[in-house]
Copies of this chain bind each other. A is one copy, B any other.
Amino acid sequence: MKRLLDEPALRSLARGCAVLGTGGGGDPRIGLLLALQALEEVGPTELVDLDDLPRDALIMPCGMVGAPTVHIEKIENGGEGAVLREHLERLTGRTVAALMPAEIGGSNGLLPLTWAGRMGLPVVDADGMGRAFPLIPQVSMHLAGIDPNPGVMTDERGNVVVFRAISGAWMERLERSAAVEFGGAGAATEYIMTVAQARDGAAVRGTFTLAIKIGDALNTAVGDSMAALVAVTGGFPLVTGKVTDVERRTTKGFVRGSVVVEGLGDDAGRLLRLEIQNENLVALEQGRVLASVPDLITVLDSETADAIPTERVRYGQRVTVIAMQCAPIWRSQFGLETAGPRAFGYDFDYVPVEELAGAYA
């Protein structure tokens, strides 16, 4: 499968990345603008399947690290991917064959595509999460035992930092502190791998295709967009209502806070609380967990069915919150240790969203 990503594909992709971003990964509108500009300047990026690349070809996972609130004001210069690749190739003595988003969610699903197109490289139809997560080791490559080293970061000014960390957790600490010093966000690559490793479980496959499919469904929906979204994602609507409270702070390279949604219409009288660390982590109602990481929780504009990033949620918005099943790898024991509720400090065990939805139906 090879596909050239034209403007309609990019527009669908951006909507799909917003849904899969579960609030994080950076505002896809910024990512879309950068992608459209690259399309105009250098032509379309090629999307390829992992099966179309040689087994020993090298894949560079990449994206932005930092707080999405910063990302909407401090824009990439578009050349970060080339800087990351140049240093990675010099460090490893090997040639990068394709780029892959570390996370398909949000702007981070679009940026690697833009970077790849500007270098004449393809982007693979896969990512490291099938969504967006706040921490660097919360990727399928970590679950597959891929070495995070060398990590490379750069900023729009041209500073470059290379990391050889003793663990994924140290990679997270060191990259986060550099992101903070860069002004709150920076471009990064880590967990470089071969196509064979990616095929063997180190990547979540088909997520570009999924994101485009979600965007297409929303774009072509007649009438009830939410129903179209639920049909294409198999998602579970949690509540429809109005944002009545937003608490949000940008600190230590993350956006943290919470959002309260008060039910309207059929949901009148209900109060749903979302807890946030870059992404929506947990949906609570009267102390009951309705959905939690690693499952996806997305806040959408009730009228346009556009997913709203955590940094854009504000008082008064009419929203619908839906939850979706995560990629199966996250439901393994190691997956839950890495990105389940307890990995974020919550004192409860993960229950799959489809079971929770059944229990409270």
Contacts and interface: CB of A to CB of B under 8 A. Distances in A.
A249 B166 CA distance: 30
A163 B166 CA distance: 17
Interface string A142-163: 0000000000000001111111
A5 B164 CA distance: 34
B174 A164 contact: no
A55 interface: no
Q: Interface residues of A: mostly helix, strand, loop or mixed?
A: mixed
Contacts of A159: 163-166, 170, 174
Contact of A161 (B157, B158, B162, B180): B162
A305 B12 CA distance: 75
Given A177-B180, A177-B181, A161 B160 contact: no
Interface string A183-218: 000000000000000000000000000000000000
**Interchain residue pairs A-B with the least CB separation, the first 3:** A162-B162, A160-B164, A177-B181
Interface string A244-281: 00000000000000000000000000000000000000
A180 B181 CA distance: 11
Residue among A87, A157, A158, A174 facing the most chain B CB atoms (10 A cut-off)? A174
B162 A158 contact: no
Contacts of A158: 166
A173 interface: yes
Contacts of A136: none
Contacts of A181: 173-174, 177
A178 interface: yes
